[in-house]
Every structure is written in C-alpha cells, then in structure tokens.
Amino acid sequence: MEDNTVVIEGSAKHCHLTRETLDKLFGDGFELEIKKMLSQPGQFATPHKITVQGPRGSTQMTILGPCRKADQIEISLTDQRALGIEAPVRESGDIAGTPGCRLVGPNGEGDISQGGIIAKRHVHFSPGDAEKLGVKDKQIIKVKVTGVRALVFDEVVARVSPDFETYMHLDYDECNAAGLSGENPAGEIIV
C-alpha cells in the first residue's frame, strides 16, 4: 500500500456454504476445487455454481471457498430486486435475522433459513497498513475515487486483521456507479 491509496476490487454475487450444505447440494464428501485464489489469504473462487431461488426469480452464483460455519448469500441491490429477497446491508458474517432462500445444486436442493445479505462496503487492512493510516478495526472511513464518475464512498467499514491483505471491496452496483473498471482501480482513503 502506497501512501493512502487502496486497490478496489469488485465483488460479484457469490455464496459461502457450510460443509453440510455443500454435501446436500453436491453429494457427500464433495470437495471444492480452486479456480482462482483471491486477494485475501486462503480465500478462493471455485468453478462450482449453484442456483439461488427467491420469491421473484433465480440466479446462478459462484461458490467461494473454503467452507464456512454458516451459509451466506451475498448479492447487490440489483440482485435483490431480481430475486425478491429483502436482504439488508450487513458486514460479512452478520447474518442473524436475514432472509433465507432456496439453493439448488447438481445433486440436491434445500432451503436456508437465513444468510442473504448485501455486503457493506469495506476495506480489509493488514495491521501494518492500518497503523500507518491510524485506522482502527470497525472504524468508519471514506474512500474517494476520481474520474468521469468521481465520488466519495462514505460508510466504509475498516476491517483490520493479521489474516488480511489491504484491499477495498465493493459490489458491482457500487463499482458501476463510480465508473470503476480495468486493472487495479484505486481510491484515496480519507480517515
């Protein structure tokens, strides 16, 4: 991380599944394959997809690995309208009281009672980068982007952990609103 600039990554709709749900949808003992490693250590995109069904529609979604302790479906506001799932804006992992949906895989299907969220915009910080900027875990910051559709993203959660590399994550609705595209778009962190 140079000065107060952060690389911004667009996060497409995706899901995190428990071992139990993965077995139900793909068969007992199914193992997730790695298609591509992600910026956060140990996290990866898989070539495996499931169908998520809501009251109004359905969509295919990529599974991210590894398996987690709770099922989580991350969508954008656009996806929310298409699916008919009234997902709240939440930090990843904060799924209590969120809507569920039906998941369909190649070898099975089932309902989850909760887990649908729109991920709150956030920056993952390594402890060293956070210290350089004077940023604390869970602090709310701003990130300014320049260009034809310049804007300042407010209400950005700083997430600090030794398990993180420093990157900002936005959903594609947010990336499109700011006209972000191409290799490694960046923003200026405002504390």
Domain ranges of the chain: 12-119, 121-190
**Considering the chain, what is the average pLDDT of its residues?**
96
121-190 fold = Barwin-like endoglucanases (2.40.40)
In eight-state DSSP terms, residue 137 is T
Give percent of the chain with pLDDT exceeding 90: 95
CA–CA dist 92, 110 (Å, integer):
22
Which pLDDT score, from 0 to 100, does residue 50 have? 98
First and final C-alpha spacing in the chain? 15
Q: Quick check: 117 and 67 in contact, CB under 8 A?
A: no
Q: pLDDT-based confidence at 1, cuts 50/70/90?
A: low
CA–CA dist 181, 58 (Å, integer):
27
Question: Quick one: which of 85, 131, 145 has its CA closest to 112?
Answer: 85
Q: How far is CA 180 from CA 24, 75, 145, 185, in A?
A: 38, 18, 9, 6
